[in-house]
Chain A
Amino acid sequence: MKKFLNLLAKEIRELITLQLFISLLFTIFLFYFIGQMAKSEMKRAMRIQKIAVLDLDASLLSRQLTDSLRSANFQVEKVEDKSKEQAIEWTKASDINLLLVIPSGFGESLTTFDLKEMETYSFLRSFSLVGSRSSVILGSVISALNNYISDDFLKKKIPDFSPEKLKKPVRSKDFVIIKGRMAEGSAMSIAGFISTQSLFIPIILMMIIIYSSQMVISAIAMEKQNKTLETLLTVPISRTSIVTSKMLASGLVGLISAVIYMFGFRYYMSGFMADVRQAAASEGLARVIQELGLAPTANSYLILGVSLFLAILCALAMATILGVLAEDYRSAQSLIMPLIFLVMIPYFLSFFSDIKNLSLPVKLFLWAIPFSHPFLTTQNLLLENYTAVFGGILYMLVFFIVLIVIAARIFSTDKVLTMKLKFRRKKLLL
């Protein structure tokens, strides 16, 4: 055990370099910086928006409309004594992005319920979401105003009848059923909320797998490049210990790196996600989630943890075998690519498609990739598909055992050196 710890300590010391620290710090700083920028942009978008209003009508209705805009958080700048063309030019020269023109006779036309058209002018000064946000809000204001006017009209014409019932005679109540549990709510908002909540899992997994694998491949490749592997293989310690210490050290450093990256990533995402979470909370989704049994429990976290851990072990074992094929650090960087693809395929497929609807060959291909299983675990746990969850865990365990046996076997035989011999130096080393 002492020898193993000695080796493990060396592996960790070799991996934790100044370059790693700088790269980690730089990435955190970058994430933080972008996150803060996004946050401030979002805040700016949520701030009071300016709107120029040319009221050529000056009726009660046009005043009501202007007041509605104020209550919808718009700062109304009234354009006085100008024609439409002059108002456009005036707004163009200002920092206001929206101009609303209320035509003359707008209020009067209400009596015949044949309202004159208003005109809105959006000055697109950038193509960002923030740039077009004010016109979206204005659209909502006009829609609310339409409702108000039509409701008012209907109330006057048919006083004993609810305008709501008249406008929407067919109504529905939405219920969602999951595994025998039922709750009132929209399937779309529940699915949206769940996918927002589990968004981080595949990202965390992908980052840990890529970082750890890269480290273990590089560690073996560096041993070869620095000509230290031969010496290490002749010291009195088992080859399995050599393989395990490299995997464990890479796993640990990869995990720490991923946690640090995720910390930075949280800053980054918080810039975009804050209002999504707020919206979810205000819709009372939490209660529905609870009623449907979709709230994660301690057991589900444990199962998810086991699934993630096994996926990392599989990646490390694969990376160890690939590392033996690498001749030096540079070739190790190319060898990591097949592993990255194996992680990316289930990552994107689980994001953009429903696995259940895929054809059988594609499904089999996906299930054969060990990294697919943790991506699917969250969903399967929530839907109580325990066969799929534990089947995936068992598959990954068997996959890992087979790989580790192969890796230890390669290190126990002269293949760890002859693989290189076949590639490059067969004659030179005789």
Chain B
Amino acid sequence: MEAVLEVEGLRKNYGSLEALKGISFQVKPGEIFALIGPNGAGKTTALRIVATLLSASGGKVTFLGHDLKKEPEKFREKISYLPEEAGAYRNLKGIDYLKFMAKFYAHSEIKAQEFVERGKSIATLGPRLNEKAGTYSKGMIRKLLLARALMTRPDLAILDEPTSGLDVINALEVREIIKKFAGEGISVLLSSHNMLEIEFLSDRVALIDKGVILDSGTPQELKEKYRAGNLEEVFRSALR
């Protein structure tokens, strides 16, 4: 199956600091691909480059045949990015936020309405959607943002620590939503340092540390390769 996203030898320097030292990976259609690693490993930097927020110092990123460097606007039309520490506009009602975002992706009013309806069903916030986002809890904000990211059915959803800061119940709900949408054909590139979450969600994972991909494969393949019971043990073995 042809890859939706291809990353080859991606490098990023912040002055003298090498955040990414030439990483390569692919994401296939409908696949959940995860970058896992500790804080400071380079996960967020990689996701931000693919999301067109940061420019790469080297390497190549192609998405559905488009070169990121030459056509970043083509990327933006077909991807959705959920940053780790994202927020919503405090003075906008949840429903207005969804409408505002839908209008950037929809070519008609009907399509925009369709996106908003889907967003409402993902967010499951009920009547609270008619209240200002400034009154929402962290879990509600995260659900609203996830709804925003998935309602347009992007070709690639880039999710940075999607359950960061959420309680168990909210985290479970968010994971279910991601799993459901990937099953419907959306490719997902996500990052997390929660190995159990990754094991539950991902089809394939890449272990990343200090800007280098140590290994990659399906969770099962990696567990067998490193003779480990879970991904945490896999990561520890891969680091040695």
* Residue numbers in A under 8 Å from B80 (CB-CB): 234
- A 227-247 contacts with B by CB, 8 A: 227-228, 230-231, 233-238
Stretch touching chain A among B24-32, B61-69, B83-91, B173-181: B83-91
* Residue numbers in B under 8 Å from A421 (CB-CB): 14
Q: How would residues 1 to 15 of chain A score, 1 for a CB under 8 Å from any chain B CB and 0 otherwise?
A: 011001000100110
Tell me whether B104 and A13 are in contact (CB under 8 A): no
Tell me whether B52 and A234 are in contact (CB under 8 A): yes
- B 62-118 contacts with A by CB, 8 A: 73, 76-77, 79-83, 85-92, 100-101, 103-105
* Residue numbers in A under 8 Å from B76 (CB-CB): 234-236
Closest Cβ–Cβ distance, residue B237 to chain A (whole Å): 23
Given A231-B81, A237-B104, A428-B39, A10 and B54 contact (CB-CB distance below 8 Å): no
Q: How would residues 218 to 231 of chain A score, 1 for a CB under 8 Å from any chain B CB and 0 otherwise?
A: 00000000111011
Asked whether any CB of chain A lies closer than 8 Å to the CB of B40, the reply is: yes
Give complex CA distance A238, B148 in Å.
Answer: 19
Tell me whether B90 and A226 are in contact (CB under 8 A): yes
A3: nearest chain-B partner, CB-CB: B104
Give complex CA distance A417, B17 in Å.
Answer: 16
Asked whether any CB of chain A lies closer than 8 Å to the CB of B187, the reply is: no
Asked whether any CB of chain B lies closer than 8 Å to the CB of A173, the reply is: no
* Residue numbers in A under 8 Å from B54 (CB-CB): 414, 417-418
Tell me whether B104 and A227 are in contact (CB under 8 A): no
Closest Cβ–Cβ distance, residue B136 to chain A (whole Å): 12
B41 interface neighbour in A413, A414, A426, A430, Cβ under 8 Å: A430
Chain B: interface residue total (CB-CB under 8 A): 38
Number of A-B residue pairs with CB-CB distance less than 8 Å in the complex they form: 83
Give complex CA distance A423, B14 in Å.
Answer: 13
Tell me whether B14 and A426 are in contact (CB under 8 A): yes
Asked whether any CB of chain A lies closer than 8 Å to the CB of B202, the reply is: no
Chain A: interface residue total (CB-CB under 8 A): 28
Give complex CA distance A13, B91 in Å.
Answer: 8
Asked whether any CB of chain B lies closer than 8 Å to the CB of A299, the reply is: no
Asked whether any CB of chain B lies closer than 8 Å to the CB of A357, the reply is: no
* Residue numbers in A under 8 Å from B52 (CB-CB): 233-234
Q: How would residues 399 to 430 of chain A score, 1 for a CB under 8 Å from any chain B CB and 0 otherwise?
A: 00000000000000110011001000011111
Tell me whether B79 and A234 are in contact (CB under 8 A): yes
Asked whether any CB of chain B lies closer than 8 Å to the CB of A278, the reply is: no
B81: nearest chain-A partner, CB-CB: A234
Closest Cβ–Cβ distance, residue A125 to chain B (whole Å): 52
8 shortest A-B CB distances, which residue pairs? A227-B87, A226-B87, A414-B54, A236-B76, A234-B81, A6-B103, A230-B83, A235-B104
Tell me whether B88 and A430 are in contact (CB under 8 A): no
Of B44, B77, B80, B89, chain A has the most CB atoms within 10 Å of the CB of B89
Tell me whether B51 and A236 are in contact (CB under 8 A): no
Task: Name 6 A/B residue pairs within 8 A (Cβ), A-sorted.
Answer: A3-B103, A3-B104, A227-B87, A228-B87, A231-B148, A428-B39
* A residues with CB within 8 A of B: 2-3, 6, 10, 13-14, 17, 226-228, 230-231, 233-238, 413-414, 417-418, 421, 426-430
Tell me whether B88 and A236 are in contact (CB under 8 A): no
* Residue numbers in A under 8 Å from B86 (CB-CB): 227-228, 230-231
Asked whether any CB of chain A lies closer than 8 Å to the CB of B219, the reply is: no
Closest Cβ–Cβ distance, residue A380 to chain B (whole Å): 43
A238: nearest chain-B partner, CB-CB: B73
Tell me whether B101 and A228 are in contact (CB under 8 A): no
Given A228-B89, A234-B81, A430-B40, A413 and B14 contact (CB-CB distance below 8 Å): no
Give complex CA distance A238, B76 in Å.
Answer: 10
B46: nearest chain-A partner, CB-CB: A430
Of B42, B48, B53, B85, chain A has the most CB atoms within 10 Å of the CB of B53
A234 interface neighbour in B42, B51, B103, B145, Cβ under 8 Å: B51
